[in-house]
Every structure is written in structure tokens, then in C-alpha cells.
Amino acid sequence: MKIDRRQDYLSHIRKAAQNAIDFNQGLLLSDFLADERTQQATVMSLLIVGEAAAKLVNDYPEFTEANAHIPWHSMRGMRNRIAHGYFDIDWTVVWQTVQTALPDLLDKLVDVRGLK
């Protein structure tokens, strides 16, 4: 019997997204670009978000299809771009993701359907 890990993966996504937002709270783009520690922490959070999204897409396709309002494939895609193109990261895109996409993601995750 397979253990249902959906709640765990969703929890990882929520926590990592909130961490990335918190790491950048009160920073301007120029502050972020000058702060390697915050860049690294933010990228790690985005990797966690993307890895958990990939697990959900791969292991629970019906669940992710039922929750198509969540950008599962985009999260996985960003993880892949960071992991495989680390030396070419566009830090402005990372910054914009934290400022706009992650708060939107957290709002959308409230409406996740199909959990027991």
C-alpha cells in the first residue's frame, strides 16, 4: 500500500514559498542583487517548491489535473532551470517570482481540492 504524501508535498511547497517571501521581506531588488546569502536561500526555497511540485505531478497526476489552477509545471520548470542552469540564473526573474508568483501561489493553494 502506497503512503499518500500529497499533504506532505503541499506542506513543503507552502513552507518553502513562505520562506522565500520572508527572506526577501523589506528588500529592494538592488538589496537582493547585492546579497548572495539571500539569493542562495531564495534559490534553495524555489528548488524545494519545484521538487515537491514535480513529485505531485509525477506521483499524483489526477490530483494535479484536478487542481489545474496551480502552476505545477511552471514550478517544476523553474526548479529544472535553476538546478540545470545554475550559472545562468536570472536573479531579476527570481526576485520577480518571489514578489508576485509566490504570494499568488500561496493564495491559490487555499483552494486545493481532492484531499481526503
Domain ranges of the chain: 6-109
Q: Return left, alpha or beta for 25; rule: phi > 0 is left, psi -120 to 50 is alpha, else beta.
A: beta
Q: What is the tens place of the pLDDT at every residue in 4-60?
A: 999 999 999 999 999 999 999 999 999 999 999 999 999 999 999 999 999 999 999
C-alpha–C-alpha distance, residues 82 and 112, integer Å: 26
Q: What is the tens place of the pLDDT at every residue in 53-106?
A: 999 999 999 999 999 999 999 999 999 989 888 789 999 999 999 999 999 999
Q: What is the pTM of this model?
A: 0.93
